[in-house]
Each structure stands twice: as C-alpha cells, then as structure tokens.
Structure 1
C-alpha cells in the first residue's frame, strides 16, 4: 500500500499597492491629514475666510470675540482670515519653485551622470560653486535682486534648489549607468536620449518623489524666513512669516499673534516630513514576505 502525499502550494501573497504601503504607518497618515488640511485652507481660503484679508474692519489689536474669533491685528484686519490665507504664498512659491528645480535638475543630473567627461565636470563645477554659498544667504541675495513678487520668489526658489537636485540625480545616475539594463540598452543601439528617458528616468521616480517633498518642506521654511526678515512678500498679502514678524512687537501683551502662525507653519512642515518619510519607505521594493529587495537597479548604490 502506497501513501500518496501532496504538497500544498502556498497561495501567492498579493503585495499591497503603493498608496496602501505609504499610509501603513500612523505617522504617515497623520502627516497626510495635516498636509491635506493645509492644502484645503490654501485652495479654498477665499471662501473659508470669514472676512477680507485686507479690509480694515475694526479697532487694532482687539481680543477674540464673536465677530472676530481671533481678534484683529495691528491695523484692524481680521486675524483669523489672514491666518487661513497665510499659507498660500509659501505653498505656491515652494511647490512651483521646487518643481522647476526638480525638472531642470533631473535633466542636468542625468546628462552629467551618463555622459561623463567634460560635460560632467563643467556641470558639477557650477553646482559645487553654487552649493558653497549657504542657502539662506543665497536666497536672500537673489530675492533682493529679483524682487518680492510671486514669480520672482518662485524663480529664486528654483535657482537655490537646482544644484542640490543635480548632485543627487547625478550620483544615482552614475551608479545606474554601470548596471546591466543600461548596457543592454546600449547594445540594442538605443540613442543617448532614449537611454536617459526610457531606461534611467523611470528608475529615478521614487527618488524624485522624496526629493520633491523634502525640498518643499525646506522651501516653505525659507520663504517664511524671508518674509520674517522683510525680504519676502510684503503687505497687504497675508503670509505666516510676515505675521510672525508683526507679532514680535506685541508678543508680551498679545502672545496669540505669534502662537497661531507659528503653529500653522510648524504643522505644515511636520506633516510634509511625515508624509515624505512614508513615501520613501513605500518606495523601497519588497518581496512576498515583506523583506526589502536589494538588487533592484532603482535602489542600488
């Protein structure tokens, strides 16, 4: 009599999607909620704000009341309305400037890392020269030169963050260019630009997503610092950095004028950082058992 045994085949483990992996950690979900709240406030502030941000509605420095929930500022404007709208400038300038720097920096980094030689040396010399200047000093000098309007500040952010993106992308491209999938594309007769766009660029997408979030967080803080120093957006446009500067004169008598914009600014930066951390963790490839795969060309080096 023969015993017949059969081996049970394990059911394939379905890997969770990118969004689910990103939001798997409570800290990431908390960060996503904070960022979403700030985006809603920035986009819909004209309808959410109870009063005009520039209208003089009452006596200066009124305490919170049923009419003005957070009181009025030094000029008699509704403080809550200006607080709700205060993130528009920082988010718009930061996202616009960092996006431009990411596109231009990725292109230059890919060319420098893959072409090498004189092209690489020339690009990196310019990058090293720009990065030798502290970011806050560079952004302040450029703001004084370009002006204080939204377009000028967006251009300033793009220029300041461009060299950092070039350096990161170039370093990753140098590593990827030596791998087999790039060599195979070259043996197939793919052109220079085809290798950059079809082979190298897709493997950089997770890295670029993290770079976008990290640099937006940094840019928000620096744009607010410019406004605090009087080099950013000027009155009557509401801005959290400008509101912090104005609150310094009444910090001992009306401390909430400093507290609320500082809380809004810090919550936005914390939310972005938590969300970026979740994105970077989710971008790491995993096998069926949940272990990180280390031999994917996009994550080597």
Structure 2
C-alpha cells in the first residue's frame, strides 16, 4: 500500500516567513539600501504638502527662471513654478499611477494564471497562445496605440499598463502555479470538494506569493520608467501635471539656464527605479535564488 506524504509548502507560505524575509533582506546592504530609497520616496510623496508651501501647477506670481536659493531651494522653471514642489508632487503622481497599475496587473495576471494552471488542457492552451500573441507586440507600441485611441490621463495610462504587463505576470505566475498544482495538499483540497477559487486563494496563491511579490517589485520599476517615457514623448500626463517625464520634456532646452528643472526629476526617477530594482533583487534572494531562477527562467 502506497503512503502519501504531504509535499512541504514553499518557505514563503510557512509561519514566520515574513520575519525570515525581513532578516534576510536586512543582511544584504544593497537590498536594505533599495528598500530605504523606496520608503524615502514614499515618505517624501506623502509629506509633499508639508515640505513645500508652493502650488506645483501654478506660478502664484513667482519669478520665472529664478536661481536656486532662499525660499526656492531648486529655483523656478520657465513658467515661474517652484521646481522642488513639482518634483515632490511628481513623486505622488509617479507612485500612485505606477503602483496602482502594477497592482491591478499583478492581481489580474495572477488570477488568470491560477485559472490556467487549475483548469489545464484546452483552457491553458488558449490562454497561453493568447499570451504569446499579446507579448509579441512591443510594450511601448501597445501603450502608444491605447493612449492614441483613448486619449491621455491617469486612467488611460493605468489601462495601458494593465494591458501591457498582465500577460508577462500571467506567464511567470502560471509557471509557479503549475509547479504547485500536483502537490498533495491541492489534491486533498479537491477531494474535500472545494471550488476552484477557494483552492486558488487558500492553497495556490499563498504558495507562490514569493513569485508574486518579486513580480510586483520588478514590474513597478519598469512601469515607473515607462510612464515617464510616455510623458516625455507627449503621450502621458497632460500639462500642468507635476510629472517627472513631463518636467524633463518641458525644461530640456533650458539646461544652461535652470539645470535643476531637468536634473531634479531625472535624479528622482533614477533613484526610485534603482531602489525598486534593488528591492526586487533582495526579495528574490531572500525567497531563495534557486526557486526564483527555476521559475523565472
């Protein structure tokens, strides 16, 4: 008689896994630095109304092209708007749009991946072939088409990001879910008569949470850069929105006069992307390099 032995759940789903992940991240200087950068950006964005008294979208009678110093630590741009205020509030816009869009893409992609892995067969084949066709189109081209058809604005940008990145998330999470589906605890859940979504929520997703979290951190860094790129090209945020890409586009011809109007959003964008990448790398290592390499290819 064959005895079934329950397959051990991955470390991410075990009790106390969060504490182990935190300790693992803190042992890595680069990962700690990455998380510190991300938390710093979040803090600056939340405290923007306290840190600066100026309106980021209006000049309020200020002098255009004023040099840094005094009440304007980074000076003013060609329209007399405070550069520091626009940079800080630009962080609010970047974090809100990128994190919201990434979260929706990750949740939607994970759900589709779970359904594909659970159903298998023709359902999995149809979803996989559809993903192949979507992923064959360059991300920037897909976003430009969506923005051109529906216009610009925060909700259109979020829609474009979701359409572009859901497929990639689905493919990665599906690979991890397919590794979980043959486990004995999944078989036991099916034998108990649990429904598909109950099994996905209670059994599958907790055991691929490591992959999902790393996907979120990785995709978020790409989304931040992609959104700023769209704004720089004129397809993203509409003036006078305090957006980093838009700030670079508006002030790139004035580098010799007001360099901080261009350098400030560039530095903010670069540090946020570096922080997110280091955080994603730290999460991947804390969850197990071998598991991440196996799933991510």
Q: TM-score per shorter chain, which class? A: 0.7 to 0.9
Distance 1:271-1:20 versus aligned 2 partners, 3 A rule: same
Show the counterpart of 2:66.
Answer: 62
Q: 1:53 aligns with which of 31, 35, 56?
A: 56
**Alpha-carbon separation, structure 2, partners of 1:51 and 1:150:** 23
Q: 2:281 matched to which residue of 1?
A: 277
Aligned-residue offset at 1:179: 3.2
Q: Which has the higher relative contact order, 1 or 2, with Cα contacts under 8 A spaced 6 or more apart?
A: 2
Distance in 2 separating the partners of 1:33 and 1:222: 22
Name the CA shift for 1:84/1:293 in 2 (closer, same or farther; >3 Å). closer
Q: Answer whether contact 1:146 1:156 (CA < 8 A) is retained.
A: no
Q: Quick check: 2:75–2:260 contact (8 Å CA) kept in 1?
A: no
2:183, 2:37 → 1: CA distance? 40
Distance of aligned partners of 1:293 and 1:166 in 2 relative to their CA distance in 1, 3 Å threshold: closer
2:254 aligns with 250
1:63-82 aligned at under 5 Å gives the runs 63-82=67-86
Whether the 8 Å CA contact 1:147–1:153 is kept in 2: the answer is: no
Give structure 2 stretches of 5+ with no counterpart.
1-15
Q: How does 1:149-228 map to 2 (within 5 A)?
A: 149-228=153-232
Is the helix fraction higher in 1 or 2? Answer: 2
Does the aligned pair in 1 maintain the 2:147–2:235 contact within 8 Å? Answer: yes
Shift in Å, 1:156: 1.7
2:268 to 249, 259, 264: 264
Most deviating of 187-196 and 210-219: 187-196
Query: What is the TM-score when the length of structure 2 is the normalising length?
Result: 0.86
Pairwise CA RMSD of aligned residues? 2.3
Give 1:188 shift. 4.5
Worse-superposed segment, 213-222 or 37-46: 37-46
Aligned to 2:119: 115
Shift of 1:253: 3.6
Distance 1:199 1:178 in 2: 12
Higher deviation after alignment, 149-158 or 133-142:
149-158
Deviations 1:170-219 (A, max 9, x none): 11222222333333444454443333222211111111000111001100
Q: Which runs of 5+ in 1 are unaligned?
A: 1-13, 285-291
Question: In 2 relative to 1, CA 293–187 (structure 1 residues): closer, same or farther, beyond 3 Å?
Answer: farther
C-alpha distance in 2, partners of 1:184/1:54?
58
Does 2:20 match 1:17?
Answer: yes
Q: Is the 8 A contact 1:93 1:157 kept in 2?
A: no
Q: TM-score, normalised by structure 1?
A: 0.85
CA contact (8 A) 2:65 2:257 kept: no
Distance 2:281 2:219 in 1: 13
**Shift, 1:300, TM fit:** 11
- Deviations along 1:136-159, one digit per CA (max 9) or x if unpaired, are 111121122222222222222112
Residue 239 of structure 1: aligned partner: 243
Compute the displacement of 1:108 (Å).
Answer: 0.7
